[in-house]
Protein backbone atom coordinates (compact mmCIF):
# COMPACT_ATOMS: atom_id res chain seq x y z
CA UNK A 1 0.00 0.00 0.00
CA UNK A 2 3.01 2.26 0.06
CA UNK A 3 3.70 2.23 -3.66
CA UNK A 4 1.50 2.96 -6.63
CA UNK A 5 -1.25 0.50 -7.49
CA UNK A 6 0.59 -0.67 -10.62
CA UNK A 7 3.85 -1.12 -8.70
CA UNK A 8 2.12 -3.10 -5.94
CA UNK A 9 0.32 -5.34 -8.45
CA UNK A 10 3.60 -6.05 -10.27
CA UNK A 11 5.33 -6.78 -6.97
CA UNK A 12 2.50 -9.10 -5.93
CA UNK A 13 2.71 -10.96 -9.24
CA UNK A 14 6.48 -11.31 -8.83
CA UNK A 15 6.06 -12.71 -5.32
CA UNK A 16 3.37 -15.14 -6.46
CA UNK A 17 5.57 -16.40 -9.30
CA UNK A 18 8.47 -16.89 -6.87
CA UNK A 19 6.26 -19.03 -4.64
CA UNK A 20 5.05 -20.98 -7.68
CA UNK A 21 8.62 -21.61 -8.81
CA UNK A 22 9.51 -22.85 -5.34
CA UNK A 23 6.52 -25.21 -5.19
CA UNK A 24 7.34 -26.60 -8.63
CA UNK A 25 10.93 -27.21 -7.44
CA UNK A 26 9.43 -29.34 -4.66
CA UNK A 27 7.71 -31.51 -7.25
CA UNK A 28 4.22 -30.02 -7.34
CA UNK A 29 2.96 -30.07 -10.94
CA UNK A 30 2.87 -26.59 -12.44
CA UNK A 31 -0.66 -27.10 -13.76
CA UNK A 32 -1.94 -27.56 -10.18
CA UNK A 33 -0.74 -24.10 -9.13
CA UNK A 34 -2.68 -20.93 -9.83
CA UNK A 35 -1.42 -17.46 -8.96
CA UNK A 36 -3.23 -14.17 -8.54
CA UNK A 37 -2.50 -10.76 -7.10
CA UNK A 38 -4.96 -8.56 -5.25
CA UNK A 39 -3.20 -5.27 -4.52
CA UNK A 40 -5.49 -3.19 -2.32
CA UNK A 41 -8.55 -5.30 -3.17
CA UNK A 42 -8.23 -7.91 -0.40
CA UNK A 43 -6.26 -6.69 2.62
CA UNK A 44 -6.16 -8.80 5.78
CA UNK A 45 -5.75 -5.71 7.95
CA UNK A 46 -7.07 -2.19 7.37
CA UNK A 47 -5.07 -0.19 9.94
CA UNK A 48 -2.21 2.07 8.85
CA UNK A 49 0.43 0.49 11.09
CA UNK A 50 3.70 -1.36 10.38
CA UNK A 51 2.20 -4.55 11.81
CA UNK A 52 -0.82 -4.26 9.54
CA UNK A 53 1.37 -3.59 6.49
CA UNK A 54 3.32 -6.76 7.33
CA UNK A 55 0.11 -8.82 7.49
CA UNK A 56 -0.93 -7.59 4.06
CA UNK A 57 2.45 -8.49 2.56
CA UNK A 58 1.75 -12.10 1.71
CA UNK A 59 1.83 -14.55 -1.14
- pLDDT number for residue 1: 56
Task: Please give the model's pTM, rounded to 2 decimal places.
Answer: 0.72
Tell me the C-alpha distance between 30 and 47, whole Å. 36
Give pLDDT, residue 57. Answer: 81
| pLDDT profile of the chain (59 residues), mean per 10 | 83 92 98 88 89 84
Going by C-alpha positions, the residue among 32, 53, 31, 33 that lies closest to residue 43 is 53
What is the C-alpha to C-alpha distance for residues 30 and 21, in angstroms, rounded to an integer? 8
**C-alpha closest to that of 35 among 10, 17, 8, 23:** 17
Q: Residue 20: what pLDDT?
A: 96
Amino acid sequence: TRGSESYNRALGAKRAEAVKTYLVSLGIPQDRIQTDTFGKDAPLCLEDTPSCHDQNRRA
